[in-house]
A = this chain, B = another copy of it.
Amino acid sequence: MRLLIVGAGGVGSAAVRIAARRSFFDHCVVADYDVARAEAAVSSVDDPRFASAALDASDAGAVEQLCRSLRISHVLNAVDPRFVMPVFTGAFAAGAHYLDMAMSLSHPHPERPYDKIGVMLGDEQFAEQDRWADANRLALVGMGVEPGLSDVFARYAADDLFAEVHDVGIRDGSDLVVDGYEFAPSFSIWTTIEECLNPPVVYEKNRGWYVTRPFSEPETFNFPAGIGPVECVNVEHEEVLLIPRWIDARRVTFKYGLGNEFIEVLKTLHKLGLDSTKKVRVGGVEVSPRDVVAACLPDPATLGERMHGRTCAGTYVTGLGKDGRPRATYLYHVVDNAWTMAEYGSQAVVWQTAINPVVALELIAAGTWTGAGVLGPEALPPRPFLDLLTEYGSPWGIQEL
């Protein structure tokens, strides 16, 4: 396996550190628009299999060319979701297999964004399904932690724990705090705004996909491992688009444990138009308000040392168990920031995202996971994934509710 990791940000750099401990690949090139970032990611591990390169991820032709010249077999896309399509397209053109951790972006319905479905997450990628299948190439999309591990959990529950699945609810929450800041998100504020202010999508078997208002259906979910109750709300997320394609469920939702404070911040940014990416004129210059918000906050990738607490990703499934009786189970993965910082020098949120595509690549390299076309993680057998995750030193958990 000759791997290209596109993007040497928090997630890409953590993936390098995780992969360096494994032997399943032969060569791995880390590419970034800012080649110094790629070099830094490579030099953080002492491993001759790694090299760095400069790459503009918005240029599909450049992605194709780099893949060809380096004879890349598999591309792991670890850049901002804005660049999913050029990396996906460039990898295909070069004949490589492809993995990402977020799907092509949605576009709300232009007139009635909260009533009608527009372009959904991943629509542009699934439109290419036949071409990928015909070329016998695998595009494994949404293969981070959420989407990713959360989808694997859903498939595992559907296969091994339930006779009949009613609700599949992804629930994400943490008790992470960052010392020394009044407000410091542990994940990209740009992406958080994008996820949280887009109309959330919900799936129901009898109705199909539909959109709701941002922050709809608030629910206090009691997270395990001492994290405790966190207010969760509907957020647009890939699992809702992926899971119904492979799993027979009555209803699929994604709720993000933003907590009250973060929800109020996002609502206020929206109310004031500060979430907008459309440039405004200020004095003699033009800027995107959302970029200004990001510039005022600390870079989450640099906050690992000041952060403490745990983050939990998981899938809450209800329905009838194998014995035919009602069952409600939460399958989850908890990561402690103190542990990821000590073991890998990566903060918990980016590390938890990065480990999953590395596990998936190892399963692909071993031939345990095979397939062609555009597939979600729930299209593949879940148990080998969960076992290998545990072998990596980061076990998952299960709780009956």
Chain A interface residues (CB < 8 Å from chain B): 182-183, 264-265, 268-274, 276, 280-283, 285-289, 291-293, 295-297
Q: A289-B292, A292-B287, A296-B289 are in contact. Are A272 and B280 (CB under 8 A)?
A: no
Bound CA span A268–B183, Å: 9
Question: A183 contacts which chain B residues (CB < 8 A)?
Answer: 271-272
- Which residues of B are found within 8 Å of A270, using beta-carbon distances? 182
Residues of B within 8 A of A286 (CB): 285
Find the B residue at minimum CB distance from A189: B272
* CB-based contact A182/B297 at 8 Å: no
Contact partners of A264 in chain B: CB under 8 A: 264, 268
Which residues from B are CB-within-8-Å of A283? Answer: 287, 291
Distance, CA A182 to CA B293, complexed state (A): 19
Rounded to whole Å, the gap between the CB of A182 and the closest CB of chain B is 5
Are B271 and A296 in contact, CB atoms less than 8 angstroms apart?
no
- Say whether B287 contacts A282, CB under 8 Å: yes
Q: How far is the CB of A381 from chain B (nearest CB, A)?
A: 45
CA A297 – CA B296 in complex, angstroms? 19
Measured in the bound complex, the distance between the Cα atoms of B184 and A272 in whole Å is: 8
Give this chain's copy count.
2
Find A282's partner among B271, B273, B276, B291 (CB 8 Å cutoff): B291
Task: List 10 extra interface pairs beyond A272-B293, A273-B297, CB under 8 A.
Answer: A183-B271, A265-B268, A265-B271, A272-B296, A272-B297, A282-B287, A282-B288, A285-B286, A287-B292, A289-B296
Are A296 and B274 CB-contacts (below 8 A) given A287-B283, A287-B287? yes
A292 and B273 alpha carbons, distance in the complex (Å): 10
Q: Is the CB of A282 within 8 A of B272?
A: no
Question: Closest residue to A296 on the B side, CB-wise?
Answer: B273
Tell me whether A276 and B296 are in contact (CB under 8 A): yes
The answer to whether residues A280 and B292 also contact, given A273-B297, A274-B274, A285-B287 and a CB cut-off of 8 A, is: yes
Which residue of B has the minimal Cβ distance to A281? Answer: B295
Residues A280 and B296 in contact, CB atoms below 8 Å apart: yes
Complex Cα–Cα for A324 and B297 (A): 57
Nearest-neighbor residue (CB-CB) of A298 within chain B = B273
The chain B residue with its CB closest to the CB of A265 is B268
Q: Kindly list chain B residues whose C-beta atoms are within 8 Å of the C-beta of A289.
A: 292, 296
A-B pairs with lowest CB-CB distance, top 3: A273-B296, A285-B285, A268-B268
A-B contact pairs, 25 of them (CB 8 A): A182-B271, A183-B271, A264-B264, A265-B268, A265-B271, A265-B272, A268-B268, A269-B272, A272-B296, A272-B297, A273-B297, A274-B274, A274-B292, A274-B293, A276-B296, A280-B292, A282-B295, A283-B287, A283-B291, A285-B285, A285-B286, A285-B287, A287-B292, A289-B296, A292-B292
Which residues on B sit within 8 Å (CB–CB) of A273?
A: 296-297
Tell me the smallest distance from the CB of A213 to a CB of chain B, in Å.
Answer: 13
Give the chain B neighbours of A276 by CB distance below 8 A. Answer: 296
A339 to chain B, nearest CB (A): 29
Q: CA separation between A396 and B135, bound complex, in Å?
A: 82
